[in-house]
Amino acid sequence: MHENDISYAIRGAAFKVHTKLGPGLLESVYETALTYELRKEGFTVLTQLGVPVVYEEVEMEQGFRMDLLVNHKVIVEIKSVEALAEVHHKQLLTYLKLSNKKLGLLINFNVPSLKESIIRIVNNL
């Protein structure tokens, strides 16, 4: 399945979760609910996946944790904040580059309407 098809399904599941739960909860709640919805649809979802980072000769076992990795292709970074900052966009782009993935979704669930709060970030897609 192509990244764009996976992304479409993730967005649909995110809308379903947001409609049922609304804004104002912890990121972990949205992560659990979104994981449940995606797995129910047959997707492979890895959560809190530690990714090593290599800096020159130094390998750090866990440089960062992906909130979700869907079908080994799309990273989902979940936020529950008042407003997304530019650093959130850059964080996801860095995750994409370090893990050699092409597509990520930045989703802020702490909003009245999810429509404007799902940001697509690409890395050589």
User: In whole angstroms, how far apart are CA 46 and each of 31, 32, 43, 95, 124?
Assistant: 11, 11, 10, 15, 22
Radius of gyration in angstroms for the set of CA atoms belonging to the chain, rounded to a whole number: 14
As a whole number, mean pLDDT of residues 6-12 equals 97
- Is the Cβ–Cβ distance between 66 and 51 less than 8 Å? yes
Predicted TM-score (pTM) of this structure:
0.92
**pLDDT digits 0-9 by tens, 70-123:** 999 999 999 999 999 999 999 999 999 989 999 999 999 999 999 889 999 999
- Is the Cβ–Cβ distance between 95 and 75 less than 8 Å? yes
Task: Return all residues near 101 (Cβ < 8 A) that are at least 6 apart.
Answer: 69, 73, 74, 75, 95, 123
Q: Which domains does the chain have, with CATH numbers?
A: 3-122 (3.40.1350)
